[in-house]
Amino acid sequence: MSRTATRITRILAMLPWVIANPGATVEEVCKRFGYTKHRLLEDLDVVFVSGLPGYGPGDLMVAYVEDDTVVVDMADYFANSPRLNPSEGLALLAAAITVSESGQGDAVLESAISKLQGVLFPEGEEVLALRVKGESDTLGILRSAAKEGRVVEITYSNLSSEKTTVRSVEPWVVFASKGNWYLNGFCRLAQQERLFRVDRIREIRLLDQGFPPRQEQSIPEVSYVPSPDDIYADIELGPNAEWVLDYYPVEILEKDEERTLIRFFSPDPMVSARLLLRLGSDARLVNGEAVSSTLKKLTEEILDRYERTSA
């Protein structure tokens, strides 16, 4: 889905709920719809200048934040959520079943799945069955260990540091996110909470050691945490390159209507150099010597290869 389509979908989901819940706070809306406050304000600005044909004062919607309360008015046509067509209902059911099969569901989700199945398939037969790709013996051991409160010993390869270590972990929760399986728990080697990619666990052993199980463990947000050895680059993005904000974990340094200045971290300057090469004239490297030299070398190699192949 394009960035614009994703934004419209998010707005259309948010508006009916805010209208149905007058007095909703910024925190409530952000938590329910996965907003940051900055992005919520941006979407409300879009709604504020929208309305019915005629576009007079009585035709435009009102949307703003006042005293930490989200206000939407003159938008009664959004009071009810749009009805799903069969294709949309099937897609929603497939997504819900996928979440359930990944082990992240709860009783509320299971109830919603049952009701949706009853509407889409009134005959009561199981027409749709999904299994999340990536199930393995390692996942089974981790799930059992998390449920029973047992420590596991893992041999883990860290991609950024290129080191393989053996460590004992108290597994709290196993979940899928962005196409990968993760383990979140307490690492006894680091003596603090750690997030592990399951596909980087080379060996696993269930130990005869217990720990108090966590009954309600929330799913952590998967994000990139820069290490002290990471290379950073300050990159100025034009309007056509703002998709980078949605696809990469970056720090926004400055932002206005014409440009966005970000700080991009990576363990290898080649990652930033390739991104800049891909963005072309829509981005500019502002600061980062290691990335600058890598980008220059990469550009020269590409030009040299082009000249040799076209000769």
Task: Supply the CATH classification number for the domain 3-78.
Answer: 1.10.10.10
The C-alpha torsion from 289 through 292 and 297 to 300, rounded to 10°, is -150
Considering only the top CATH level, what class is 137-210? mainly beta
User: pLDDT per residue over 61-112, tens digit each?
Assistant: 888 898 889 988 877 767 666 677 777 778 888 878 777 766 666 777 888 8
For 39, the enclosing helix (H) or strand (E) is: helix 37-48
Tell me: pLDDT of 270 over 80. yes
φ and ψ at 34, to 5 degrees? 70, 30
Whether this prediction's pTM lies above 0.85 is answered by no
**Residue 309 pLDDT:** 73
Q: What is the mean pLDDT of the chain?
A: 81
| Residue boundaries of the structural domains of the chain | 3-78, 86-120, 137-210, 231-310
Task: Supply the CATH classification number for the domain 231-310.
Answer: 3.30.70
Beta bridge mates, 170: 186
**Residue 59 pLDDT:** 61
Hey, what are 174's tokens? 């196993």
